[in-house]
Amino acid sequence: MDPTSMPSPELLSHYPRIPRIPLEEWAAGSLALIAGSFDDELSARLTQFSAINNAALIFTYLDDPKLAKKLCEMELAWLASKSMDAAAAGSSSQLLHLAIDPWVNQGRLLALARSTSEALDCFGRVFSLTQGEDVWLGSCSITSFEWKEIERLHPGLRSTAYSVYIIESLKALSMAGDSAGVLAFLDRQRWAEGTELEKFVIEGRLNGLSQLGLHQEVMELAEEAAPDFDYFHQAVFALHSAESGYVLGVNNARRVACGLASLLCGGAFEGIPKTTMLRFVLRLGELLERLTEPDAALVTYVKGLESATTVNDQPAQWEFLRALLRLPVAHCLYTEWTQQLCRIIGTTDYGRVRRAEGLAPNRIDERPVYVDLRRAVIGFLGGVASTVPPT
């Protein structure tokens, strides 16, 4: 790690995250669900579609965004076909709400490809549904009437749509390095103040200000906002403030960072989902390294590795092991950590990890489970009506 480098503008606030388990294991589980037997057709379709969404994510992690995009498009076309079949029979589709996931996944793929304006359009269309507009999600049309019925059957979907719009738009702008765009976007989201989304708005602003070098403003906003939030998000804002304090040479940055490490190791955040804590802990450890606090960084990274191992998040385990092994601190587990890291590097299929380690890219056709998963998904979604209209 470059101790002078700026932290990633990734959001640390809590929102649901899926553990990134080893990809072969994940693929095998998804394959079993797609091929499984169920008590009724609706339950089967809901479970199978969730597994297909995971398949698109798996192929993204395998560094095959073209295949992931194709699967998302096929999902939307399949849902559009089922919707037209239902309309022809004089009823409404019970599956139309499932279009949001593959559509959002397409937006994420566009963001990864740095097609930021197109990604923002994807997320904006999800928000437009909540504003009573008729919207096309790829091949899938959802009218305002259909959305009202969807909301009646799935009351939590409106808040999900709001969260997708805010969180994914911020991530897309941050990936593009458009900090001014982040702040401009947040200026248009005043409606989110006083809601569950406010923490993302504030943290997004903290990230944007930090990336623009406005560190005094970061510290002032973090201090002003913290009292209105729970203890974990107070800690998140304190970490942002300490990162900016370090850049400005403020004396209390070290005290705040070491204090957060003590809270972490004392179990203060045990109630927070581990998949949320992983990012917070990694950022905290990196700040402690910058502050030349290797002992505090060590116990912080150990805590992170324990959490990553508990949820079997393979890329996070890799990150924490690399961090531990670069510290200038002797530890009795050094040999064990080295062996563990070598095992992960030797077996992982995560493209990001392989690229960082200088390994050859994955070849999906060389792993039967990925070939079978691709075949199963395309087979499930095959037979899509060719009459489905384009976007």
* Cα end-to-end span (Å), the chain: 44
Element of type H or E holding 351: helix 351-356
DSSP 3-state of 5: coil
Measured distance CA(288)–CA(342) in Å, rounded: 25
- Name residues whose C-beta falls within 8 Å of residue 249's C-beta, 6 or more positions apart in sequence: none
Q: In whole angstroms, what is the distance from residue 109 CA to residue 239 CA?
A: 29
SS3 135: strand
Point out which residues pair with 135 in neighbouring strands.
Answer: 142
Q: What is the pTM of this model?
A: 0.92
pLDDT in tens, the chain (391 residues): 554 456 677 899 998 899 999 999 999 999 999 988 777 888 888 899 999 999 999 999 999 999 999 999 999 999 999 888 887 877 666 889 999 999 999 999 999 999 999 999 999 999 999 999 999 999 999 999 999 999 999 999 999 999 999 999 999 999 999 999 999 999 999 999 999 999 999 999 999 999 999 999 999 999 999 888 999 999 999 999 999 999 999 989 999 999 999 999 999 999 999 999 999 999 999 999 999 999 999 999 999 999 999 999 999 999 999 999 999 988 999 999 999 999 999 999 999 999 999 998 888 888 999 999 999 999 999 854 333 333 3
Question: What sign results for the dihedral spanned by CA atoms 279, 283, 286, 292?
Answer: negative
Closest CA to 356 of 312, 319, 308: 319
Domain ranges of the chain: 16-176+367-386, 191-249, 251-277+284-348
Q: Dihedral of the CA atoms 68, 54, 303, 327 (nearest 10)?
A: -20
- Residue 65 near residue 115, CB atoms below 8 Å: no
Q: Tokens at residue 202, please?
A: 């504030």
